[in-house]
Amino acid sequence: MRVVIVGFPYSGKSALFTAISGLPPDHHKASEESLASVKVPEPRLQWLADLYKPRKYTEATIDFVDLPGHAEGDSEHAGLEKHLPTLRQADALLLVVRAFQNPAVPPHLGRIDPLADVKSLREEMLLADLMICANRIDKLDKSLKKPSKTHDQEKHELAVLERCRAALESEKPLRDVIQPGEEERLLRSFGFLTQKSILVAINSGEDAIGGDPPAIESVAGVFNICAAVESDIIQLPAEDRPAFMADYHISALARDRVIRASLNALGMIAFYTVGEDEVRAWPVPRGCIAVDAAGKIHTDLARGFIRAEVVGYDEFRAAGSMREAKAQGKLRQEPKGYVVQDGDIINIKFSV
């Protein structure tokens, strides 16, 4: 799972990256892209680890990416087209918009208007997608003039892309026009920006923390944050944070809010595998079936799948141990097509 942070120069992208990653603020060179694998806080997994005392404990992680900082003179806009290779690989985009005063900001970027900035960023995303679309349509047009084995396939792709281009030209994000299933899969390889889930962080000044964020259409989550304060708090030992958070009226860390919203936006749930060797969380999309869950662990487990032994977290916890869960008949035998539930503890029976 990968979330890329996007925004105008000076909006506080790197400050938010620091607040999410907990890395020291001087960790990364502003001129380079930075990546942090951030652990998903998992109280359930912690409880399982206390029970099994495993040799290895593996939480789910989300990768967050901070793009290189802007260079002198290229601060007209967010410059998304420069970063397309990185952006196309994102599962979700976290837009950061500035709501604090900063005398260093050049006059032409000086407005403080978070909602207008979100709108501009989305326009840039539409334009980037139009460019991707047009390039591919050009290529297909040319290739369709020659006979080929993939003619029908290319014709179908062209028709879908023509529809995408029309949607983008009328300023509709592709997320709203793409049909789930075959079409969505076909288009995913292009990495269209307007097909991805969007989160918005409104980066406010220290004196304006808290309060409800405005509603924004067609985004998966909006928060008010103060990246500067949050990036300081995350550097503190965990036990010292609550006092500072209380001072600033921060009820939950930006990191935790962003992680939760990201998982939610991407429709991710987790199942667990347990044992003395390892207790581990496995993130999967909601609706994932048992055989695909097995394949996450190892392709052999999917190939040789016999059945899944499953117990829900709450039932397991109430029983207190695997032996007791079995004795109470809570350990179910499920087939390949079983839809995995959030918190399931799963053991795959297989033979290869």
Ligand X SMILES: Nc1nc2c(ncn2[C@@H]2O[C@H](COP(=O)(O)OP(=O)(O)OP(=O)(O)O)[C@@H](O)[C@H]2O)c(=O)[nH]1
User: Which residues make up the interface to ligand X (CB under 6 A)?
Assistant: 7, 9-15, 69-70, 100, 102, 203, 205-206, 226-228
Partner whose footprint covers residue 122, from ligand X, Mg ion, none (CB < 5 to 8 Å by kind): none
Q: Which is nearer to ligand X, 58 or 120 (CB)?
A: 120
Residue 194's binding partner out of ligand X, Mg ion, none, with CB under 5 to 8 Å set by partner kind: none
What are the residues facing 348 on neighbouring strands? 308
Per DSSP, the residues of 158-186 read HHHHHHHHHHHHTT--GGGTPPTTHHHHH
Return the number of the residue (5 or 187) whose C-beta is nearest ligand X. Answer: 5
Interaction between residue 224 and Mg ion (CB under 5 A):
no
Strands (E), 100-215: 197-204
Give the contacts of 189 (CB within 8 A, at least 6 positions apart): none
Confirm if 52 and 316 have CB atoms less than 8 A apart: no
Q: Which is nearer to Mg ion, 41 or 69 (CB)?
A: 69
Question: Helices 254-265 and 13-21, interaxial angle, to 10°?
Answer: 90
Smaller CB separation from ligand X, 13 or 122: 13
User: Three-state DSSP class for 12?
Assistant: coil
Shortest spacing between CB 85 and ligand X, in angstroms: 18
Nearest distance, CB of residue 30 and ligand X, angstroms: 6
The answer to whether 25 contacts Mg ion (rule: CB under 5 A) is no
Q: How many residues bind Mg ion (CB under 5 A)?
A: 3
By a kind-dependent CB cut-off of 5 to 8 A, residue 221 interacts, out of Mg ion, ligand X, none, with none
DSSP 329-352: T--EEE-TTPBP-TT-EEEEEE--
When CB distances are held under 5 to 8 angstroms depending on the partner's kind, the choice from Mg ion, ligand X, none that residue 12 binds is ligand X
Binding to Mg ion by residue 203, rule CB under 5 A?
no
Tokens describing residue 246:
């209380």
Q: How far is the CB of 75 from ligand X (least distance, A)?
A: 8
From 11-19, 89-97, 212-220, 249-257, span contacting Mg ion (CB under 5 A): 11-19
Return the number of the residue (20 or 219) whose C-beta is nearest ligand X. Answer: 20
Q: Is 14 in the site for Mg ion (CB under 5 A)?
A: yes
Q: Is 121 exposed, middle or buried (0-12, 13-18, 19+ CB in 10 A)?
A: buried
What is the C-alpha separation between 350 and 222, in angstroms, rounded?
Answer: 43
Cα distances (Å, whole numbers) of residue 129 to 84, 153, 179: 10, 21, 17
The residue (of 15 and 279) whose beta carbon lies closer to ligand X is: 15
| Of residues 80 and 263, the one with the C-beta less far from ligand X | 80
CA 311/CA 340 separation, integer angstroms: 10
If contact means CB under 5 to 8 A according to the sort of partner, which of ligand X, Mg ion, none does residue 100 touch? Answer: ligand X
Nearer to Mg ion, 15 or 132 (CB): 15
CB of 234 to ligand X, least distance (A): 13
* Nearest-angstrom CA–CA distance, 57 and 337: 28
Asked if 69 interacts with Mg ion (CB under 5 A), we say: yes
Q: What would the two tokens of residue 319 be?
A: 């029983």
Q: How far is the CB of 30 from Mg ion (least distance, A)?
A: 6
List of residues contacting Mg ion (CB under 5 A): 13-14, 69
